[in-house]
Amino acid sequence: MAYIRGVERNAVLLFPECIEDYITADNPVRFVDAFVASLDLGELGFVRATPAETGRPAYDPAALLRLYVYGYLNRVRSSRMLEREARVNIEVMWLLGKLTPDFKTIADFRRDNLRALKGVCREFTLVCKKLALFGGELVAIDGSKFKAVNNRQRNFSDTRLRKAIGAIEQKIAAYLASLNEADRSEAALAAPAKLKAEELQEKIKTLQERQEKYRRLQAELADSGEKQLSLTDADARSMIIHQQRTDVCYNVQTVVDAKHKLIVAYEATNDPTDHAQLAAMALRAKETLAVEQLEVVADMGYYDGAEVKLCAEAGITTYIAKPQTSMNQKRGLFTKQEFSYDVVKDCYRCPQGAELNFRFETIESNRQIRYYATAKCRDCPIKERCTTTRRGAGSRAGLTSSCWKKWPGG
């Protein structure tokens, strides 16, 4: 049986005379073209939104924006690949009117209009809202780690800098000891010893320069008040991305509407965890959707009493699995879930019936904490058990390693 064969390369084909005939009526590029045409690029802050009266004509930012949006929809992010698409892709030819900007022009457009591009994303969200593409009832929040350009070797913390400086000091001390040894043997082997000494001096000089560099970085890190310093991407941070593997990334928060799985809001952060992102993203989604009530789903990484309380006060119902972070169960102590709270008396009751009354309030790790504890051990109904089984969470002795804390909103 013969194979499926194509036409001969030298065959004469009668292509349509109009490039419009190649683009079907339901092709997404038609929406891209109409969407960009509806934008006021000057109001959004695009560079060269109004052409200059003199000089060489520049590319229309609307044309470059069409190319950029097309690349976003088709996962073509490289400026060189976008340049190639403009030359070989019939959809891009239709979209740009057969313009072929080079990769440098495309890269500069993206670099010079970062704030304006963020405004375009907001305008797209508003268009989706006008078209009733958002349900506005249920949204999901999650974070994704996006790898930065910054290499791990160019990301520093105070601990890493101190270890590096200490290691260099040890190497310098070892080289100095070798120099002393070379001085003692110089009489027997004059030429080789001199050559070795020069090599050691050069190594010491290199280490001292590196040491000075690390000290400057250490001072810069201390002045910034940050915990990490990245030399290439200043905002990027070292984060755990998968199975305890770390890399320098951004933590991009995304809110997705349940109706058509469209993104309602997003924000790129450098917070390694999702712990403090729930309220900010939920409130932003509620504002964008312009609804009175909203339901939010998130994983247990977002659970925080203060964040949940802020959402509840704003009319946002949250559905989050509560993580079990306490080590008390492994230690033989009661866990938080086994205590009940009395709102009227402002006290907790342990599973053995003892009351934990309010003692004092303090601030730890920028979080407000209220401490509760029982009276003296002699008042505990399980006084004898707490010293043997360590399940005396109703006594002060049993709570020594794990005082019960009532967190805000919890």
Give exposure, 50-78, as e/b (b: 16+ Cβ within 10 Å).
eeeeeeeeeebbebbbbbbbbbeebebee
Give Dmax (Cα) for the chain.
Answer: 102
Mean of pLDDT values over 66-86: 94
Confidence of residue 328 (pLDDT cuts 50, 70, 90): confident
pLDDT digits (tens, 9 = 90+) for 227-278: 899 999 989 999 988 777 889 999 999 999 999 999 999 999 999 999 889 9
Flag whether pLDDT at 130 surpasses 50: yes
Annotate 233-302 with three-state secondary structure. CCCCEEEEEECCEEEEEEEEEEEEECCCCCEEEEEEECCCCCCCCHHHHHHHHHHHHCCCCEEEEECHHH
pLDDT at residue 385 in the model: 32
What is the model's pLDDT at position 8?
Answer: 79
Q: At what angle do helices 28-37 and 61-73 cross, to 10 degrees?
A: 140
Q: Following CA atoms 107, 112, 114, 118 in sequence, which dihedral angle do they give, to the nearest 10 degrees?
A: -110
Lowest mean pLDDT, pick from 108-122, 216-230, 311-325, 331-345: 331-345
Collapsing DSSP states into helix, strand and coil, what is residue 306?
helix
State the pLDDT at residue 200. Answer: 79
pLDDT tens sequence across 342-397: 888 888 888 777 888 888 888 877 777 888 887 654 444 444 333 222 333 333 33
Strand partners, 405: 371
Mean pLDDT of the chain: 83
The pLDDT assigned to 381 comes to: 46
User: So where are the chain's domains?
Assistant: 19-131, 153-230, 237-320, 328-406
Amino acid at 71: G
For residue 53, pLDDT beyond 70 = yes
Strand, coil or helix: 157? strand
| Contact between 385 and 391 (Cβ < 8 Å) | yes
Query: Which stretches within 23-157 are classed as H helix?
Result: 28-37, 41-44, 61-73, 79-88, 90-96, 103-112, 114-130
Spatial distance between the Cα atoms of 43 and 40, rounded to a whole number of angstroms: 5
Tell me, what amino acid is at 17? Answer: E
199 close to 111: Cβ distance less than 8 angstroms:
no
Question: What band does 204 get if pLDDT is binned at 50, 70 and 90?
Answer: confident
In sequence order, what are the beta bridge partners of 371? 360, 405
